[in-house]
Amino acid sequence: MKKIKLKLSTTQAIMLSFLFVILIGSLLLALPISSKNGKAVPYIDALFTAATSTCVTGLVTLPTVTTWSVFGQIVILLLIQVGGLGIITVMAGFTVALHRKIGLKDSRLISDSFNLTSLSGLATFVKKVILGTLIIEGVGALVYMVVLIPDYGMRGIWLSIFNSISAFCNAGIDIIAENSLCGYALNPLINTVTSLLIILGGIGYIVWWDIIRVLKNFRKEKIKCLKRLTLHSKIALSATLILIFGGAVAIFILEYNNPLTIANYSLFDKIQVSFFQSITTRTAGFATVPQENLTNASAILCLFLMFIGGSPVGTAGGIKTVTIIVLFATAYSAIRNKNEVTLFHRNLSRQITKKAVAVASMSFSIAFISTVLLAAVTNAPALDIMYETISATATVGLSRNLTPYLGLLGKLIIIVTMYLGRIGPISLAIAFNSNKETGNIVKNPTEEISVG
């Protein structure tokens, strides 16, 4: 009997790997041993928790700290780590650790999952990604321990490890309290280390190595070496700084007199809470103020920041910083009636601008459809629903306290939205696209239309 071989594209393999991890995680979390009270939680909540952990989102239907046992928390943490790095990278890491060669198929999977343009040096790249991740998470955990061990005793060690990995992977899930990090809103050390972990995870691995490469030559070339950053790094870093500082200033102004958030804080505390809120909206999901207490203006601003997210080839979600900059540059070019889209004295290819438009439009479509569907099955204010769906689409994890009250259909809608947000709109389109190229046998005529 002839065997039927199922041929999967690299994108389809990546999508299925995430599904596989989510399903395995949900089965483990559905076991009585995963629950603190020894009773199995409803499977839909186990599935939701597995999905939000693997997709490094952070929306939870059940309080993590009071629901899950140590075993359950370990499962969640492993899902976060695998989801942040990617199952393909983790598997490749084991291959490298066993001193085996990464096969061509696995090389293509890794290359596609990180949007790399070359297959050369993948083993070294995987080593750097995993080693760099573990070092940063380890240092973050040690810093957390300075605060959490005095507060929680030896349990603070586990809390520190969990929080560090969750922050670096931009997951936003913690086991400190039911109200996230609100209890540490005014703690400079917790604010600083969490913010740095979020930024380092969200800036992207490619930017890491580029900065390290440039810093190695800093003594020799001084300021000139900064010009040697790649165009990708320049855009990602510039956008990150603009969004963090711009968002913080806007939140500071909009929340300054809000008694439910920062009105009663000192000037320093108002600044640090504003900065943290600006940073965490970039797909991290930790909160030092209840999101439902934000003014409507701040909440709408946070929707914009969440939708953008972090940078490519990192642990963050959203349409990405590079995408939004390319879109603005394209719009500026069109307004100035220029044929080329230019950034930092470099012209962008037409393929890049088309991809940016595709990513933004498809992400918007996913968020819009999920918003309409959730509104149809949930009796909640429109702003709260939009906050929930955009948070899920961009894998942020911030909620205006709507997630715990979702019904079965609402939970399923958010699960699917988180999954689509994690794998990315372009990956989704490629996965269901035909592998056959149609070619340019017939060239259609060009015709002008009215736009705008």
Query: In 3D, which of 376, 364, 361, 360 has the Cα closest to residue 413?
Result: 376
Per-residue pLDDT of the chain (452 residues; tens, 9 = 90+): 455 555 666 677 778 888 999 999 999 999 999 999 999 999 999 999 999 999 999 999 999 999 999 999 999 999 999 988 876 566 666 665 655 666 666 566 666 556 555 555 666 777 888 888 999 999 999 999 999 999 999 999 999 999 999 999 999 999 999 889 999 999 999 999 999 999 999 998 888 888 888 887 776 665 566 678 889 999 999 999 999 999 999 999 999 999 999 999 999 999 999 999 999 998 888 999 999 999 999 999 999 999 999 998 888 889 999 999 999 999 999 999 898 999 998 999 998 999 899 999 999 999 999 999 999 999 999 999 999 999 999 999 999 999 999 999 999 999 999 999 988 766 666 556 545 445 556 677 877 777 77
So what's the pLDDT on residue 446?
76
**pLDDT value at residue 436:** 47
CA distance 359 to 354: 9
- Residues 394, 207: Cα–Cα separation, whole Å: 21
- Contact in structure between 362 and 426 (CB atoms under 8 Å): yes
Cα–Cα dist 136/126, whole Å: 15
Q: What is the pLDDT of residue 223?
A: 57
Q: Which two tokens stand for residue 239?
A: 């956008």
- What pTM did the predictor assign? 0.90
pLDDT at 67: 96
| DSSP β-ladder status, 341-343 and 346-348 | antiparallel
User: Sign of the C-alpha dihedral, residues 306, 403, 358, 82?
Assistant: positive
In terms of Cβ atoms closer than 10 Å to its own Cβ (0-12, 13-18, 19+), residue 400 is: buried
CB atoms within 10 A of CB 20: 12
The answer to whether the CB of 190 falls within 8 A of the CB of 145 is: no
- What is the structure's pLDDT at 114? 60
pLDDT of residue 192: 97
Which amino acid appears at position 138 of this protein?
Answer: G
Three-state SS for the chain is: CCCCCCCCCHHHHHHHHHHHHHHHHHHHHCCHHHECCCCCCCHHHHHHHHHHHHCCCCCCCCCHHHHECHHHHHHHHHHHHHHHHCHHHHHHHHHHHCCCCCCHHHHHHHHHHCCCCCCCCHHHHHHHHHHHHHHHHHHHHHHHHHHHHHHHCCHHHHHHHHHHHHHHCCCCCCCCCCCCCHHHCCCHHHHHHHHHHHHHHHHCHHHHHHHHHHHHCHHHHHHHHHHHCCHHHHHHHHHHHHHHHHHHHHHHHHHCCCCCCCCCCCHHHHHHHHHHHHHHCCCCCCCCCCHHHCCHHHHHHHHHHHHHCCCCCCCCCCCCHHHHHHHHHHHHHHHCCCCCEEECCEEECHHHHHHHHHHHHHHHHHHHHHHHHHHHHCCCCHHHHHHHHHHHHCCCCCCCCCHHHCCHHHHHHHHHHHHHHHHCHHHHHHHCCCCCCCCCCCCCCCCCCCCC
- Helices 408-423, 350-377: axis angle to 10 degrees equals 170
Answer yes or no: are the C-beta atoms of 377 and 369 closer than 8 Å: no
CA 289 to CA 91: how far, in whole Å?
A: 38
Q: So what's the pLDDT on residue 245?
A: 97
The rounded distance, in Å, linking the Cα atoms of 42 and 26 is 10
CA-CA distance, 452 to 434, in Å (whole number)? 32
pLDDT tens figures, 23-79: 999 999 999 999 999 999 999 999 999 999 999 999 999 999 999 999 999 999 999
Q: Answer for the pair 132, 205: CB distance below 8 angstroms, yes or no.
A: yes
pLDDT in tens, 256-310: 999 999 999 999 999 999 999 999 998 888 999 999 999 999 999 999 999 999 9
d(CA 240, CA 221): 25
- C-alpha distances in angstroms, 265 versus 48, 209, 257, 268, 279? 36, 39, 10, 8, 19
